[in-house]
Amino acid sequence: MLGIDRFVPPHPHGSTHGVTRAFSFTSPLHPSEEALIQRSYELWSELAGILGQPTMYNTGALYVGAPDSAMVVQALTASERQGLSTRELNSAELRRRFPAIRLLEREVAVFEPTASVVFPEFTVEAHLRLARTYRARIRVGSRSDRGMPRKRAFRSPQPPVVTKPTPWCWRLVLGPIPSAGRAPA
């Protein structure tokens, strides 16, 4: 296995930067993402077991808005599809559970108890340590499009490379982009 990062982790140049990130089962933009969300939750939990320390904390999430707002509708629809215990809270329930929050006249509150906070920089470092334990090659601090074979990379019998697209990675996949007005060779 080969891991490639243009920068040396942890770094502020991507979605893995920062102390925490929200993790929610009801936030996918499309139903096709729900299986990915469920599997990633399993993997976060598995990593916590391997490390012997938490990779996330269950906090729940509260969505407040008009009943027909995209956020509220998405939370309720995704929850129903996945069989989650997300539910609408009326004003009295909301006041009892979250005394600092007051609904406006036409607002509703939806509570998702399965939402969590994850620790991206900690888990990136943990994944790198584990990868090195299994003798993965980690290439950091240099651009991966330099010195990489073209075309042949996709026919190699080696295990697949998993990459996260970044502004420079088109060179790795496509090679040089023709200048404006010229057709590709």
HEC sequence for 130-178: HHHHCCCEEEECCCCCCCCCCCHHHCCCCCCCCCCCCCCCHHHHHCCCC
99 with 157, same domain? no
Q: How many domains does the chain have?
A: 2
28 with 105, same domain? yes
39 with 114, same domain? yes
Q: Given this model, what pLDDT does residue 98 score?
A: 92
**Crossing angle of helices 70-82/34-51, nearest 10°?**
70
Ranges of residues in the chain whose predicted pLDDT is under 50? 151-157, 160-185
Q: What is the CATH number of the domain that holds 33?
A: 3.30.9.10
Reported as a single tens digit per residue, the pLDDT across 120-165 is 888 888 888 888 888 888 888 866 555 555 544 444 445 544 444 4
78 with 38, same domain? yes
Query: Domain of 163?
Result: 1-14+136-185
Task: Tell me the β-bridge partners of 22.
Answer: 117
Q: For residue 39, what are its two tokens?
A: 């599997």
Residue 121, CA distances (Å) to 109, 124, 142 in order = 31, 5, 19
9 with 29, same domain? no
- Residue after which a domain boundary falls, among 65, 87, 118: 118
88 with 155, same domain? no
- Residue after which a domain boundary falls, among 92, 118, 144: 118
103 with 156, same domain? no
For residue 141, being part of any structural domain is answered with yes
Outline where the chain has alpha helix (H): 34-51, 70-82, 91-97, 120-133, 170-174
Q: Given this model, what pLDDT does residue 37 score?
A: 86
